[in-house]
Amino acid sequence: MYKNSNHASLPLKRPRSREITEQTLYSVGAKLFAAQGYPSTTLDQIAREVGVHKSTIFHYARTKEELLAEILDRGLSGYLTSLQSIANTREDGLTRLLAATRNHLNFVFEHGLELRIFLRDRQHLKGNTGASYLRLSEQYQAIFVQIIEDGIKDKTIVKGDASLMCLFLLGSANSIVEWYNPDGRLNVEDIVEHFVQSMVINMMAQQVPSSRCEQ
């Protein structure tokens, strides 16, 4: 927001491009949803923080729920594509699961804000746009389940309920957003490797050659 020396709000002096407005809108919306929660955040608040009239938001999202879904989708879509590419390789199940887990952890660290919003406010995704996003989330989880099932079949992953194993794995990974401190003792790379070693290799893998642990 632009202010003069008397701290009075002033209108924007120059028009913003659609790209800049869109990027700012989603960034501000995500921060407010994360800080206040979805029910307590209004489109009026978001518009004021962005520095645009509320009607401008409707060029990007027709409702608050649609804006929520768009914010969440910007985090998930790219990683869903990466996950599908990993699943489509000819590697064994464990190798694909290791790659998929690292892909998901990258998502956790790069889009922790969106993930925190999803974990807390996904129950508000009830309309068509929200349902569409939830289907993407379910598809993402289903790919993980399939990778685990493939690993069980090729005997690189221990026997078990693949759906439950997936929930344990993703639930543990997602919980990182609640305790991760960028100024903490371990950096991102350390946490990723500790997670992969403890949650995948130690708990889910059959006998693993040492070379695979380094992939």
Q: List the one residue out of 58, 51, 68 whose CA is nearest residue 16.
A: 51
| Rounded Cα distance, 158 and 51, in Å | 54
CA dihedral 148, 152, 157, 163 (to 10 degrees): 40
CA angle 172, 96, 133 (to 5 degrees): 60
CA angle 98, 99, 101 (to 5 degrees): 65
pTM: 0.80
Phi and psi torsions of 9, nearest 5°: -70, 140
Q: Is-contact 4 10, C-beta < 8 A?
A: yes
List, run by run, the mean pLDDT of 10-residue segments along the chain (215 residues): 39 52 90 94 94 90 90 85 96 97 96 90 83 88 98 96 97 94 91 96 78 49
| Predicted local distance difference test score (pLDDT) of residue 17 | 61
Copy the structure tokens of residue 82.
């990466």
| Predicted local distance difference test score (pLDDT) of residue 2 | 33
Query: For residue 115, what are the contacts with CB-CB under 8 A and spacing of at least 6?
Result: 75, 107, 108, 174, 177
Q: Is-contact 76 140, C-beta < 8 A?
A: yes
| Predicted local distance difference test score (pLDDT) of residue 49 | 93
Query: For residue 187, what are the contacts with CB-CB under 8 A and spacing of at least 6?
Result: none
